[in-house]
Amino acid sequence: MPREKRVENYDVVVIGGGAAGLTAAIYSARARLDTLLIEKALVGGLATYTNEIENYPGFPDSPKGEDITNLMKKQAVKMGVKFKLTDVKSVELEGEDKIVETFRNKFIAKSVILASGGRPRVTKAKNEENYLFDKGISFCATCDAAANTGKDVVVIGSGDAAIEEGMFLTKFANKVIVSVMHDEGIMDCNEIAKEAALQNPKMEFVWNTVVDSFEGEGHLDTVVLKNLKTEELIPIKCDNCFEFIGYIPNTEIFKDQINLTKQGYILTNEKMETNIEGVFACGDVREKWLKQVATAVGDGAIAGFAAEKFIAEHETFNTVIMQKEKPGLIYIYNAIDTPSREFLAHVEKIEQFFEGKIVVNRVDVYKSKGISDRLNIKKFPAAIITKDGSIYEQHIQDFTEETIVQALNNALN
Ligand SMILES: Cc1cc2nc3c(=O)[nH]c(=O)nc-3n(C[C@H](O)[C@H](O)[C@H](O)COP(=O)(O)OP(=O)(O)OC[C@H]3O[C@@H](n4cnc5c(N)ncnc54)[C@H](O)[C@@H]3O)c2cc1C
């Protein structure tokens, strides 16, 4: 018989322990929220595989990626973040109680932050696994170009990323040899990049080829290409190889619930909100322009902050705005709109008239739209009458003190 899963409750569960997830967890735990971070491989994520990070502000001595992420982890532990080293198998994100399941546990959270990053697509050629990351096969020119100054490098791929990153590499490398699987002159990138690349004296192209194997003692020194038409093997001596044949976001377990791009990246707005209330996404897993540690950290800060705001607003909404004790008037106005601000005097009179028999809440949408969004009110001012914790009547824009008094009398009877 399958074992019952152990159930644990948290305010926030973060899926993924890279730079984005760690930062989100730091922000969430610092806001005194009970925060769990789940990581299936290495806390620190992709950055831990990087030998030198030269472009993360505040670290001028180009430390290893793991030196930076270990500090992030230390800070998260200090803030009280709890860690589980296991794989998230499934999620149920709709509704108030969000469920995150691992092999042994079922975690229930008020808010979930998706920070599961992605992985570079690899060629699957022979011996590739022996040279990944710091042993000669790289996936990031922005990160590793400077380390290849004066060297010969091979680029695999001919899409926009491959050709634009290849061009960037020519500023540092001695020679950039590009393996393209198509016939001479055919590339997958845009025409402007193609023309510029074909004219670049530091770039050479080997047409109709894919990688057959990677070779070298300890560190890569030869990429063996194979001509797709003649099957000829072409060994290319090099110091490093850059693979730009795509990136796969880790979103398989979210795909039926969260809105994704065609390539599988999570769509968010600038508050890192996804299509599901209380679910946020940050870092490389979301659709964005620049995927780096600095941007992952920025996203994570926003997601952690947004989760805290979401939970606070949710609690205020349930216990104060939609209180069940008495009939209520929720007056939603915009402080910079004169008529809706002037009606506040009438709200005052209504409150006095009912002498404590009703609860009045004033909500200024100029400060925050969270509550009006929850009530799905798009036009202001609005007067919402509640009874037993539910909406009883709603009056949008066109109402008077008398109509509201009448509606509240109805709710009281
Ligand atoms: C070779 C290389 C070199 C790079 N060099 C630099 C550099 O010099 N400077 C720079 O700024 N950026 C660099 N980058 C980019 C940088 O590493 C990423 O932008 C950054 O790591 C993104 O952080 P993240 O937290 O969004 O995702 P990740 O670091 O990918 O972390 C996501 C984490 O989620 C975990 N996860 C995924 N699915 C699950 C699941 N189901 N359950 C539990 N955990 C899960 C993964 O194991 C992973 O640890 C480099 C990238 C590569 C590949």
114 and 251 belong to one structural domain: yes
358 burial via Cβ count (<10 Å: 0-12, 13-18, 19+): buried
Task: Specify the ligand 1 atom closest to the Cα of 16.
Answer: 34
165 and 188 belong to one structural domain: yes
Cα 37 to Cα 21, 44, 273, distances in angstroms: 7, 12, 18
Cα–Cα dist 110/115, whole Å: 16
Instruction: State whether the beta carbon of 107 lies less than 6 angstroms from ligand 1.
Output: no
Ligand 1 pocket: which of 52, 241, 293 to mutate (most atoms within 8 A of CB): 293
115 and 254 belong to one structural domain: yes
- Domain count of the fold of the chain: 3
132 and 235 belong to one structural domain: yes
Q: Which domain holds residue 284?
A: 6-119+247-317
Distance 121 CA to ligand 1 centre (A): 13
Task: Specify the ligand 1 atom closest to the Cα of 43.
Answer: 49
Atom 41 in ligand 1: residue holding the nearest Cα: 88
Is 1 part of a structural domain of the chain? no
13 and 111 belong to one structural domain: yes
What does the pLDDT profile of the chain (413 residues) look like in tens digits?
Answer: 667 899 999 999 999 999 999 999 999 999 999 999 999 999 999 998 777 788 999 999 989 899 999 999 999 999 999 999 999 999 999 999 999 999 999 999 999 999 999 998 999 999 999 999 889 999 988 778 889 999 999 999 999 889 989 999 999 999 999 999 999 999 999 899 999 999 999 999 999 999 999 999 999 999 999 999 999 999 999 999 999 998 899 999 999 999 999 999 999 999 999 999 999 999 999 999 999 999 999 999 999 999 999 999 899 999 999 999 999 999 999 999 999 999 999 999 999 999 999 999 999 999 888 889 889 999 999 999 999 999 999 999 999 999 999 999 999 98
Is 140 part of a structural domain of the chain? yes
234 and 87 belong to one structural domain: no
Task: Specify the ligand 1 atom closest to the Cα of 295.
Answer: 19
134 and 237 belong to one structural domain: yes
228 and 298 belong to one structural domain: no
C-alpha 21: how far from its chain's center?
9
Distance 105 CA to ligand 1 centre (A): 25
Instruction: State whether the beta carbon of 88 lies less than 6 angstroms from ligand 1.
Output: yes
Task: Specify the ligand 1 atom closest to the Cα of 42.
Answer: 49
CATH of residue 153's domain is: 3.50.50.60
